[in-house]
Structure 1
Amino acid sequence: MAEAEQRNSDSKVYPSKVGLELLIPVLLISGAGMVPVIKDGDWIKLIIPIVILLFVVSVFYSISYEIKEEVLVVKSFFWFKKVIPIASITGIVETYNPISAPAASLQRLEILYDRYNSVVVSPKDRMGFITHLKELSPSIQVKVKKWKEKD
């Protein structure tokens, strides 16, 4: 019992999975835009595209999901932070929807909360993330292919 209480009070950060299906197109488009500048040998003009590329890649790698106390905190870069009470989460559904979301992979989970709200996430450790949320709120309904409910 004390172990379950300790687990509930622990804070854990789940980094976002960074999918190649999103990263490669960004790198290809950026690289294609830099080729003419490199051919011209105008190295100063490379500064802006490189800064933009570094910004986009850093956004991908800054996405994380923290479960602490009784909330799920969705973080993206420095300014985006969404706090969701775990008690308000009603379901977790697998999705491959490419809509804009704090998720750097197309292997996504849609977190349903309150009555009509949702957020799409892509934790690297999907099953650990789901298990952690289920430990804190067993009433969460999970609809994920590889999820097996513990008896």
Structure 2
Amino acid sequence: MYFPSKKDWWLTVLICFLMGGTILLSVIEPSVPGIIITTIVSAFLVWIWFTTGYLFTKDELVIRFGPFRSKIPYEKIQSYRDTRSVTSGPALSLDRLEILHDSGVMGVSIVSPVRKEEFKSELERRCPALKNKTLTQ
């Protein structure tokens, strides 16, 4: 089951502003390096915007954020909680979930699924060993 990331309106404006600004700079001051940098930055932002999402596979939660991916085995997920933290993570909204796990370097993943309640239900269904299902903030 796949859940795309929720996208806040203000982040849409910010990304459009950044892309517009880099394109405008390459038009005002055209140069090969400027055009290359503009293309790379714009492609990276579009990649992140359209591919950020969360996939429940048979054995793990796969978090995708543009070119980056992380996989969290269900048995490693310990708990989750709602948060509006501005902590960096593969989330395009401030309406987020913080997932604590015993996997990887950080042990915390921040996600912002579109159908948050359905995502939580799926997480609970696939991770029966969740300890403190929802932690208080």
- State the TM-score, normalized to the length of structure 1: 0.70
Matches within 5 A, 1:64-103: 64-78=53-67, 80-103=68-91
Instruction: State the superposition RMSD in angstroms.
Output: 2.9
Corresponding residue number in structure 2 for 1:112: 100
Farther-moved stretch of structure 1 (57-66 vs 26-35): 26-35
Q: Displacement, 1:112?
A: 0.6
* Structure 2 residues not aligned, in runs of 5+: none
Query: Identity rate of aligned residues, in percent?
Result: 26
Corresponding residue number in structure 2 for 1:134: 124
> Does structure 2 retain, via aligned residues, the 8 Å contact 1:27–1:53?
no
**Structure 2 residue 114 is matched with structure 1 residue 121:** no
* Structure 1 residues not aligned, in runs of 5+: 1-11, 146-151
Q: Displacement, 1:31?
A: 2.4
- What CA distance in whole angstroms lies between the structure 1 residues aligned with 2:24 and 2:107? 43
CA deviations 1:87-113 (Å, max 9, x no partner) are 221111111222221112221111011
Aligned length: 132
- What CA distance in whole angstroms lies between the structure 1 residues aligned with 2:24 and 2:71? 42
> Does structure 2 retain, via aligned residues, the 8 Å contact 1:64–1:76?
yes
> Does structure 2 retain, via aligned residues, the 8 Å contact 1:65–1:72?
yes
- What CA distance in whole angstroms lies between the structure 1 residues aligned with 2:66 and 2:19? 20
Q: Displacement, 1:62?
A: 0.8
The DSSP-based 3-state class of the residue aligned with 1:111 is strand
Q: Displacement, 1:51?
A: 4.9
Corresponding residue number in structure 2 for 1:149: none
The DSSP-based 3-state class of the residue aligned with 2:128 is coil
CA deviations 1:62-96 (Å, max 9, x no partner) are 11211111211112223x22111112211111112
AA aligned to 2:128 is: P
- State the TM-score, normalized to the length of structure 2: 0.76
